[in-house]
Amino acid sequence: MQKEINFLGNAVENPVRPFVAILGGAKVADKLNVINNLLEKCDTLIIGGGMAFTFLKAQGLEIGKSLCDDEKLDYCKEMLEKAKKLGKKLLLPVDTGIAAGFPDPIDGPIDVKYVDSDKIPADMEGLDIGPKTQELFANAAKTAKTVVWNGPMGVFENPTLAKGTIAVAKALAETDATTIIGGGDSAAACNQLGFADKMSHISTGGGASLEFLEGKELPGVYAADDIK
Q: What are φ and ψ of residue 176, in 5° steps?
A: -85, -5
Average pLDDT, the chain: 89
Domain count, the chain: 1
C-alpha span between 65 and 53 (Å, rounded): 10
CATH code for position 49: 3.40.50.1260
Q: Containing domain of residue 75, as a range?
A: 2-227
Task: For 189-211, write each residue's pLDDT tens digit.
Answer: 898 889 999 999 998 766 666 77
Report phi then psi at 129, rounded to 5.
-80, 150
Question: With 60 as the cut, is the pLDDT of residue 138 above it?
Answer: yes
pLDDT at 221 over 60: no
For residue 102, which amino acid is it? Answer: F
Q: Residue 199 has what DSSP assignment?
A: S
Q: Alpha-carbon distance 26 to 173, whole Å?
A: 23
Out of 6-20, 56-70, 110-124, which region has the weakest mean confidence (pLDDT)? Answer: 6-20
Compute φ and ψ for 166, nearest 5 degrees: -65, -45
Tally the C-alpha atoms within 13 A of residue 106's C-alpha that lie toward its C-beta. 5
Out of 76-90, 106-120, 136-150, 211-225, least confident range: 211-225
pTM above 0.95, yes or no: no
Are the C-beta atoms of residues 40 and 86 closer than 8 Å to each other?
yes
213: pLDDT strictly greater than 50: yes
